[in-house]
Amino acid sequence: MPWEQSPEMRQAAVIVDVARDLARSMPPPRGAPYFCLDSDAAYDLQVLDALYAQGIFRKYEFALDIGSGLGGRARWLAARSGCRIVGVEPHPPAVAAAAMLNHRARMDDQVTFQVGRPECVPVRARLFTHVWLVDPAPEAAVSDVLAEAFRVLRHGGHFAVQCPMPPADIQEAILATLGRVGFVDIEASSVTGPEPPHACRVARARLSAAAHGRLGRTMHDERPAIASPSHPLQRLQIFARRFT
């Protein structure tokens, strides 16, 4: 199937139409030209403010978003931080759809996308100043992904993880793995993501209605992350740094 006819590209086309129509009556949230319809997050993306708060962002900062999907999170983080971002996603149709949405949002100069597995990012070592791993897919080999994040970070670079709150033993295992990989200054905290802004909730309802009418199905379900959360909106955030 050509990517132009893929479910991801058709979904992206519906997102564009819904966002354009809704923007006639209300402005989109800052950094979310598609009212967050291009993100699987079921929470207000402002909980991600802590990710770019780690480090001093300038225009020459270069960040990697692992598992970027349709690119909504990368665009949001780029608008908030001002840095350049590369999104890596293993599914080529999703990358094509993300690129289309990116072009329509006029963010090609700041955000790009490419095909790549989280445990084998197709870039050279020590390229990025920041790496973000948010709500990773459950099939991801966590230890391999963390090692890959370490490989592509520059000296002094910052790494941020966010996932649904796992049980204590899994959390301890993640922290221990970060230390074995070579990360330092490892910190973990719990955050509760509030519901998305009203405009995003309205957009989500319109998208669901449009999807039923045009595509005859609902949008993709939200991908689960490392472990099932103890509360739908409770998240674990981990920050670390590459010193060597």
Report pLDDT digits (tens) over 124-168.
Answer: 999 999 999 999 887 778 899 999 999 999 999 999 999 999 999
Mean pLDDT (the chain) is 88
Residues 102, 95: Cα–Cα separation, whole Å: 10
Residues 225, 181: Cα–Cα separation, whole Å: 21
Q: Which two tokens stand for residue 192?
A: 């509760």
The predicted structure's pLDDT at residue 223: 35
Please write the tens of the pLDDT for every residue from 84-99.
Answer: 999 999 999 999 999 9
| Residue at 165: amino acid letter | M
Beta strands in the chain (DSSP E): 62-66, 84-89, 111-115, 128-134, 153-164, 184-192, 234-241
The predicted structure's pLDDT at residue 45: 94
Residues 220, 53: Cα–Cα separation, whole Å: 30
Domains and CATH numbers, the chain: 3-241 (3.40.50.150)
The predicted structure's pLDDT at residue 217: 47
Query: Would you say residue 53 has pLDDT above 90?
Result: no
Please write the tens of the pLDDT for every residue from 2-25.
Answer: 667 799 999 999 999 999 999 999
Residue 182 near residue 150, CB atoms below 8 Å:
yes
Residues 101, 4: Cα–Cα separation, whole Å: 13
213 compared with 181, residue with greater pLDDT: 181
Residues 237, 48: Cα–Cα separation, whole Å: 9
